[in-house]
Amino acid sequence: MMNKIIISLLILITSPLELAWGIDQKSDISSSNDFTFVFINNTRSILKYYRINLAEEGISLTEGPNNNMVLGVTINTRRNNFEEALLLGFASVGKAISYASEKASDSNGKIFYPSVITVECRVPLGRNGTSVSASANSKIVTQFVDGTLPASQFWWEIHDSFQTVSDMMISSETPAILRTDVDYENLVATRIAMENMNNPKVSGLISMASKAKYVWGLEAKLESMVLDHMKTNHIDMMEQVMGVRPAEEEIIRIGKQIFHYIKLTYPEVEEVHTTDSLRYVWGGRRYPTSLDDYYRVYNLKYNIRRPKR
């Protein structure tokens, strides 16, 4: 089953972006100031192109707790293949995010995409049918789409967020990803990664991380080392910046994102952090000065020089 899903995803992920938008010129960001509408329209176009059947509820955009913009996609499937339907739904939204990022240069750098993505699949199982949903940080979804996060790993990343409604079961607990400030976590993760790119103390770890995918078993070990480094060296900073001591699950979420970014080059990480910062500010909030204050003192203390911008 998973092999069939992966084949379907490869077709979706590797297809040119223009395929889904070539018949819908109205979706071009450069021709509209309503970034939210354009993003939803593009998402709908991709789902339609790949024959993913939207339910009556369709696509919704709501503001959840902690200023999270949550994109909800509700789809129908004719048989009990909700795994494939969920993954294809996430992949379609991920392609819309990738397209929005590419078109940001045409709109003076302004970009919209949701903080959290929730895909709900309606399955014809049971007297009244069954609903299965999952939620994910949009960063995880884009990593899934660009191939840096394999389908099997992405599946386990969203596994804890599953909610089910059927004749036999109703899941009532809200997934953790919907209770946290996702944009803030992303901002902190990219800033920590960026600041450590030129830190001699972690240069060896960064060097190994860039080679991890070529050495069997090394990537998982390095990810564990990054999480340990986070707990040892950054827990005080996270507590100072976030106002509270982060829970274990939050440290793990941020640590995994840091591990993803330290495998990139400094300019690439800086670009991501700039985008995260702008999205955060465009959401009506102010960039946390506590991050600047912390790293100003930290860099002076350890005589760490930032690369020239």
- % of the chain with per-residue pLDDT over 90: 34
**pTM higher than 0.75:** yes
Q: What is the pLDDT of residue 16?
A: 42
State the average pLDDT over residues 93-100: 93
Q: Give the count of domains, the chain.
A: 2
Within the chain, where are the H helices?
2-14, 17-21, 35-49, 82-102, 138-145, 151-159, 182-196, 203-211, 218-233, 235-242, 248-261, 266-282, 289-301
State the average pLDDT over residues 166-184: 85
- DSSP annotation of 44 reads H
Judge if 156 and 194 occupy the same domain: no
Judge if 46 and 162 occupy the same domain: yes
Q: What is the pLDDT of residue 272?
A: 92
Residue that finishes a domain, picked among 156, 178, 200: 178
Q: 50 lies in a domain? A: yes
Residue that finishes a domain, picked among 120, 146, 178: 178
Judge if 112 and 248 occupy the same domain: no
The listed range with the strongest mean pLDDT (104-108, 164-168, 248-252) is: 248-252
Q: 306 lies in a domain? A: no
Residue 278 pLDDT exceeds 60: yes
Q: What is the pLDDT of residue 79?
A: 75
Q: Which range, of 107-111, 236-240, 276-280, 284-288, averages the lowest pLDDT?
A: 107-111
